[in-house]
Amino acid sequence: MQNHYSGLINRYRERLPVSDKTPVISLCEGDTPLIKLANLPAETPNGADISMYVKFEGLNPTASFKDRGMTMAVSKAAEEGAKAIVCASTGNTSAAAAAYAARAGMTAFVLIPEGKIAMGKLAQAMMYGAVVIQIRGNFDDGMELVKRVAKEAPVAIVNSINPFRLQGQKTAAFEITEALGRAPDYHCIPVGNAGNISGYWIGFSEMCGHNTESCTLCNGQCPFLADPKVTTRPRMVGYQAAGAAPFMRNGKVENPETVATAIRIGNPQSFDLAKAAVDESGGWFDELTDEEILAMQKRLANREGIFCEPASAVSVAGALRDIENGKIAPGSVVTCTVTGHGLKDPDVAIAQCQEPVVTIDANLEAVKQAILGNLPG
């Protein structure tokens, strides 16, 4: 099949640090849809003439954006002869690491905070055959342990401190720019460990021929920087959960807490890269309460048909609030990363659907009554 899409490494090979010797470990990740919102902008004060798009990363093979970085990290680990990989995770990284390790014939060790990861993510890590290590601590504790254990055991770290992760994740910015035929004016994104925002900044920058501080690999030597595709970069806007918002507190948060467990992180490893990206782009950070996050998770599902996990709704919630208050200028093109699928976290979703499910006898009259009683007025 000549035109068969075979994943982002093959798609963007000339813009990634791979060679003919790199075994490509891929699940056809990337190439996710950029969905134009049909209802929410018009329902928002000052939003009528905003073009707003969602990059739905929940449609990757393990249902989050992590697959982009993981295809790179695991392919490079395989190239270097690694037999095992390790990560700390709030859930999605562990799912992606487990899947790509399975494909590569490696063992994945995943450290997760006990009781604080969504059930779908735990199911994934277990099904893909990872060695799941629950710790009595949070993500930040897990991250410190991973950094230390990798010095004492033969395991490759696949958290986003691995620079190949950001290289994979930058491809989402390529796809957005190609789909729009231009860079957005603002790119809005949830921030936890702060790798993804840093990866996007590399990607948007490379698209217009700029090197960034975030790109620790090429030092401005990449030949494709001389062949810019567009002339502008977006303002990068990073949104956090209020109980886990180290960028708003300007430093570590000791006991991060939020319903959006994916971003329950107090000590982001890519703090400096993300801050540089936001500063350099003229963007900003902001925070959202758990109530705002859950309300937007539900609105995205029932007004736009996009079911994402709580952490992913943060970008859209923040963007719409900043459209309303005028921080995002009228007439702008706004893109939002929606990082993970709603099916990852069914417990939180069901808990916020208060209306009881109608239960009736299996006969025509009862079904008819259930329909007639619920038709729109």
Contact footprint for ligand F0G (CB under 6 A): 64, 66, 89-93, 160, 190-196, 262-263, 309, 311-312, 339-340
Computed from CA positions of residues 158, 100, 192, 9, in that sequence, does the dihedral angle turn out positive or negative?
positive
Q: Which is nearer to ligand F0G, 121 or 235 (CB)?
A: 121
Alpha-carbon distance of 143 to 7, in angstroms, equals 28
Compute φ and ψ for 154, nearest 5 degrees: -80, 75
The strand pair at 84-88 and 235-241 is best described as unpaired
Half-sphere exposure of 94 (CA within 13 A, CB side): 32
Least CB distance from residue 20 to ligand F0G, whole Å?
30
DSSP track, 46-66 = T-TT-EEEEEEGGGSTTSBTH
Q: Judge residue 137's burial from the number of C-beta atoms within 10 Å of its C-beta, 0-12 exposed, 13-18 middle, 19 or more buried.
A: middle
Ramachandran class of 91: left when φ > 0, alpha when ψ lies in -120 to 50, beta otherwise = left
Q: Which is nearer to ligand F0G, 71 or 193 (CB)?
A: 193
Least CB distance from residue 75 to ligand F0G, whole Å?
19
Q: Which is nearer to ligand F0G, 64 or 138 (CB)?
A: 64
DSSP track, 122-188 = HHHHHHTT-EEEEESS-HHHHHHHHHHHTTTSS-EE-STTSHHHHHHHTHHHHHHHHHHTS--SEEE
